[in-house]
Structure 1
Amino acid sequence: METLKENWLFRTESLIGAEGLHRLASLRVMACGVGGVGGMALEALARSGVGYFVVVDCDVFHPTNLNRQILATRESLGKPKTTIAKERILSINPEATVIPIQGFADSQIISILQSYPVDFVIDAIDSLNPKVQLISTLMHKNIPFISSMGAAARFDASSFRIGKLSDVKGCPLSRKVRQRLRRIGIDPRHIPVVYSTEMVKEGQGIASYIQEENFYERGRQRIPRGSLATTVMAAGLLCAQEVIMWALKKT
Structure 2
Amino acid sequence: IGLGYSILAGFSLVPAIFLLVVEYLHHHRLWFHYRPDSASENNITYAERHIRFLPITMTNDQQTSHWQDSRCDEGENCLSRNLYHVIMYHSGNTRYPPEQTLDNQIVIGFHQTSHAAAYSIAQSELRPSSTGWIGPGIYFATSLNHTEFKANQFGAYICAKVDLGKTKRITNPKDWSSGDQCDTVYYEHPHGADEFCVHNQNQIRSWIIVIDQDPNVRFLQEKNNKPLPSGNYVEDRLEDTVYRGCQF
Q: Which structure has greater helix proportion?
A: 1
Same fold (TM over 0.5): no
Q: Which structure has greater strand proportion?
A: 2
TM-score by length of 1: 0.28
Which of these two proteins has the greater Rg computed from alpha carbons?
Answer: 2
TM-score by length of 2: 0.28
